[in-house]
Amino acid sequence: MSTRPLLNRSLAGMGTTIFAEMSALAVATGSINLGQGFPDTDGPREIAEAAARAVLEGRGNQYPPGPGIPELRQAIAEHQSRFYGLAYDPDTEVLVTAGATEALAAALLALLEPGDEVIAFEPFYDSYAACIALAGAKRVPLTLRQPNFRPDLDELRALITPRTRLLLVNTPHNPTGTVLTPEELAAIAELAVEHDLLVITDEVYEHLVFAGAHHPLAALPGMRERTVSISSAGKTFSFTGWKVGWVTASAALVSAVRTAKQYLTYVSAGPFQYAVAEALRLPDSYYADFRADLHRKRDLLAAGLGAAGFGVHEPQGTYFITTDITPLGEEDGLEFCRALPERCGVVAIPNAVFYDDAEAGRSLVRFAFCKRISVIEEAVTRLHTLHAG
């Protein structure tokens, strides 16, 4: 047999994700899992019933249309108009995908050529690096640094070269919780227009903002025609297993992304598409209550982590809190997270895995707060024992 490594070299070193490792550790040790970002309570009952009805009534059980069912594309277009005043044609400017993950993969594979450079905020969501590598392109990190994890816009300007093809912007940002301000967005948009760059935005936490507001880059002058906006139903409606995501962009960009997407999954999640169409039309009270519930949970976990001795960075959005473990006399987040289940029965994620420059994230650890209040309270009680230990 050939001695050539089996794994495509662009994926070398990207073995099992840390989420799988830590979730397995949580199960093995009976720990509370504040690692992976999924809620421990399902989304609205009427939306689950809508999915069940679609299955039983035979809607979506066979291959749905390639771009997504018309009802969902219409609902996505309405959502963009309702929340952001953005008008998209549901027939040509909206594409339904298998979660935001597939939308990101299809967009990166469609829009990049080998040798292109992609500037993205570091720490990165882990699929970005893999998909950029699969496209043969190069990732160029713009590191968000402590204490505030804001992008340095002069550094961004300096990173742009003639090979820069694309900016990949995640706001609200996982794992830091940074929500870009209108001024930061305007500066990024200006650079994109000046250098004629494409932009992909990852907005999966768009409805999880506790301070300020989410503003899509696509709404800024000169941005609509160059921006592929990506979001999904998983976080907003607490159905992360359904994997229904979407792209909104100009017809030309959607057409390019659809070309790559059709050879990834072709289509997915037929009945869930009907349910997500209903979910997107839930009244404003749903979105407000959801945000208020997570806001309470954020405050509870932030206070508990602070009292347990962590340095706490309060997130403006998402359902993650980034902490610094140096006040606990610890330095290495990876070691700390590997030991934490044994030490006190809690699982967290070391932020270093989201960095190319692992040193920049070495002492940072991420906790998820999309869990029941009683679970957060118990986790906090357990984390308090670190003081004693």
Ligand X SMILES: Cc1ncc(COP(=O)(O)O)c(C=O)c1O
Give the binding site for ligand X (CB under 6 A). 37, 99-101, 125, 170, 174, 202, 204, 232, 234, 240, 243, 245
With CA atoms as reference, report the closest residue to 276 among 20, 130, 59: 59
Q: Shortest distance, CB of residue 123 to ligand X, whole angstroms?
A: 10
Q: Shortest distance, CB of residue 232 to ligand X, whole angstroms?
A: 3
Q: Shortest distance, CB of residue 309 to ligand X, whole angstroms?
A: 27
Provide DSSP, 289-355: HHHHHHHHHHHHHHHHHHHTT-EEE--SBSSEEEEE-GGGT---HHHHHHHHHHHHSEE-EEGGGG-
Q: Shortest distance, CB of residue 150 to ligand X, whole angstroms?
A: 17
Q: Shortest distance, CB of residue 246 to ligand X, whole angstroms?
A: 9
With CA atoms as reference, report the closest residue to 176 among 157, 149, 204, 143: 149
Q: Of the two residues 240 and 273, which places its CB atom closer to ligand X in the complex?
A: 240
Q: Give how far the C-alpha of residue 272 lies from the chain's centroid of Cα atoms, to the nearest Å.
A: 20
Q: Of the two residues 134 and 193, which places its CB atom closer to ligand X in the complex?
A: 134
Sign of CA dihedral 305, 306, 307, 308: positive
Provide DSSP, 202-240: E-TTTT-BSSS----GGGSTTTGGGEEEEEEHHHHHT-T
Q: Of the two residues 172 and 304, which places its CB atom closer to ligand X in the complex?
A: 172
Three-state SS at 3: coil
Q: Shortest distance, CB of residue 5 to ligand X, whole angstroms?
A: 28
Q: Of the two residues 174 and 323, which places its CB atom closer to ligand X in the complex?
A: 174
For residue 177, which phi and psi values (nearest 5 degrees)? Answer: 80, 10
Q: How many CA atoms lie within 13 A of 43 on its CB side?
A: 27
Query: Residue 346's beta-bridge partner residues?
Result: 32
Q: Of the two residues 207 and 382, which places its CB atom closer to ligand X in the complex?
A: 207
Do residues 80 and 88 touch, judged by C-beta distance below 8 A? Answer: yes
For residue 355, which phi and psi values (nearest 5 degrees)? Answer: -115, 145
Q: Shortest distance, CB of residue 330 to ligand X, whole angstroms?
A: 25
d(CA 142, CA 151): 7
Q: Of the two residues 272 and 344, which places its CB atom closer to ligand X in the complex?
A: 272
The residue whose Cβ lies closest to ligand X is 99
Q: Of the two residues 54 and 105, which places its CB atom closer to ligand X in the complex?
A: 105
Q: Shortest distance, CB of residue 104 to ligand X, whole angstroms?
A: 7
Q: Of the two residues 203 and 278, which places its CB atom closer to ligand X in the complex?
A: 203
d(CA 308, CA 329): 12
